[in-house]
């Protein structure tokens, strides 16, 4: 008789299964949240690095072409457009490529033939996605920091 009752005791109870599934769900939720935050940070850093490259290229184009080069930042379209005169030198769709939103203190900046930025104030560009945000600053001297 003892052997027969042991044979029926091979499985798990419903409470044990529910407890294990709850623990697996909690661990999975924690991992997904951390991964989501890390992906947001990577996207924001990528967008800021691309914007810094575009601004650096605009400054270099101004020096090389000996002409004024303008960078227009469209926060509603989430794009950066580099123009030398009427020619569009580059266009960066940061919102589409990285899924970020943009905010800025000014909607444009221009570099003169010496590579210096026009205007009385620095330009600050902030890229956000989820809980992650990063900032890029362009000084009046044309220096880009991020």
Tell me how far CA of residue 60 lies from CA of 50, 68, 84, 110, in angstroms. Answer: 15, 11, 11, 12
Range in 10-14, 41-45, 58-62, 138-142 with the lowest mean pLDDT? 10-14
Confidence at residue 132, expressed as pLDDT on a 0 to 100 scale = 96
Given a cut of 70, whether residue 60 has pLDDT beyond it is yes
Task: Look up tokens 């003169």; give the residue.
Answer: 112
- What is the pTM for the complete model shown? 0.81
Task: Look up tokens 């920091």; give the residue.
Answer: 145
81: DSSP letter: E
For residues 71 and 83, give the distance between their C-alpha atoms in angstroms, rounded to a whole number.
6
Given a cut of 70, whether residue 1 has pLDDT beyond it is no
Given a cut of 80, whether residue 90 has pLDDT beyond it is yes
Given a cut of 70, whether residue 113 has pLDDT beyond it is yes
Confidence at residue 65, expressed as pLDDT on a 0 to 100 scale = 95
Residues 6 or more apart whose CB falls under 8 angstroms from that of 46 comprise 97, 98
Confidence at residue 7, expressed as pLDDT on a 0 to 100 scale = 56
CATH of domain 12-145: 3.55.40.10
> What pLDDT band is residue 72 in, cutting at 50, 70 and 90?
very high
> What pLDDT band is residue 58 in, cutting at 50, 70 and 90?
very high
Given a cut of 60, whether residue 67 has pLDDT beyond it is yes
Given a cut of 70, whether residue 6 has pLDDT beyond it is no
Closest by CA to 140, choosing from 111, 100, 113, is 111
């Amino acid at each position: 008789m003892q052997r027969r009752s042991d044979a029926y005791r091979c499985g798990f109870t419903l409470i044990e299964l529910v407890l294990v599934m709850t623990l697996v769900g909690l661990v999975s939720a924690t991992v997904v949240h951390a991964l989501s935050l890390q992906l947001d940070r990577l996207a924001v850093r990528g967008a800021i690095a691309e914007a810094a490259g575009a601004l650096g290229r605009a400054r270099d184009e101004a020096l090389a072409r000996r002409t004024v080069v303008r960078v227009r930042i469209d926060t509603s379209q989430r794009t950066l457009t580099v123009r030398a005169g009427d020619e569009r030198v580059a266009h960066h769709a940061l919102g589409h490529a990285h899924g970020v939103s943009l905010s800025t203190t000014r909607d444009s900046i221009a570099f003169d033939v010496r590579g210096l930025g026009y205007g009385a104030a620095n330009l600050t560009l902030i890229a956000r996605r989820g809980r992650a945000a990063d900032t890029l600053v362009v000084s009046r001297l044309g220096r880009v920091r991020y």
